Amino acid sequence: MFQSPGDIAFYIGSMPVYYYGLILAIAAFTGFYAAYKLYAEFLNPDDAEKILDMAPILILAGIFGARLYYCIVNYSYYIIHPLEVFNIRQGGLSIHGMILGGIIALYFCVKHYKIDFLRTLDVMACGTSLAQAIGRWGNFFNSEAFGMPTNLPWKLYIPIAHRPQEFIRHEYFHPTFLYESILDLAIFTILYLILRRHKIQKGILFGIYLLLYSFVRIGVEYLRVDSILYISGIPVAQWVSIWIIIIALFYLGFLLRNTESSN
């Protein structure tokens, strides 16, 4: 059985330091370091340091995109509580917004550092999947991102204050944060093995990441009961994932057609 010890890790004076922020910091560091090592090993060791140089800008852009996306899809709350838009210490970030914000920032960063955009996207996809695997544990400490009630041995206890009203009498739920964490780690492993064993066209690995993560998210969302917005009875995260799959298929098809035409 899983049970969060609470969302506060420790205090600095009277200021609480949250597990969520610590976990995200560890996730970001690990993801960028992994991307740096992969760039050095498989692409160009002379330019690998540029990955770390870009990290602060990409982190800020990712956080901005993640928060903006979350606030947009949860607009009914933030219209009433506008100042809460700036309160991210206890959660409220979306991976889809983070990916979009990071891609936009990366596009401009690689122009400044004069490195290849698609090649960098490939190694960043590897780092991102690893960061996601770690970052999902922030949801554990916040008692969020959980699934339907269950009595399985790996059940997750959710405090009553965090339970949806319709499940208020249930104590134990599917730890969907854990399911996604494990699957994100599997995605990282797959991407790493592809990168290590196969010479593929630049940009392909990023497209594979988009497909794999979108399928994972669609599957996990079927179990979740705390999705923040539904459209026609379907979680918005599933709608977005479906569109990402469609875009990724067109993107991969475009890259592959260009490869064939150049040959």
Amino acid 262: pLDDT: 52
Amino acid 143: pLDDT: 92
Largest distance between two CA atoms of the chain: 64
Amino acid 261: pLDDT: 56
Q: Is the pLDDT of residue 263 over 60?
A: no
| Pair 196, 152: CB distance under 8 Å | no
For the chain, which residues make up each domain, given as ranges?
2-262
Q: What is the tens place of the pLDDT at every residue in 113-142?
A: 999 999 999 999 999 999 999 999 999 999
Structure tokens at 180: 């996604």
88 or 172, greater pLDDT: 172
Average pLDDT along the chain:
90
**Rounded mean pLDDT of 5-21?**
91
Cβ count near 51 (within 10 Å):
26
Q: What is the tens place of the pLDDT at every residue in 73-113?
A: 777 777 877 777 777 765 677 889 999 999 999 999 999 99
b/e map of 18-29 (b: 16 or more CB within 10 Å)? bbbbebbeebbe
Amino acid 260: pLDDT: 58
Does pTM surpass 0.75? yes
Mapped onto helix, strand or coil, the DSSP state of residue 159 is coil
Amino acid 71: pLDDT: 84
**Rounded mean pLDDT of 214-235?**
87
Q: Is the pLDDT of residue 58 over 90?
A: yes
Q: What is the tens place of the pLDDT at every residue in 201-218?
A: 899 999 999 999 999 999
Model confidence band, residue 62 (pLDDT cutoffs 50, 70, 90): very high
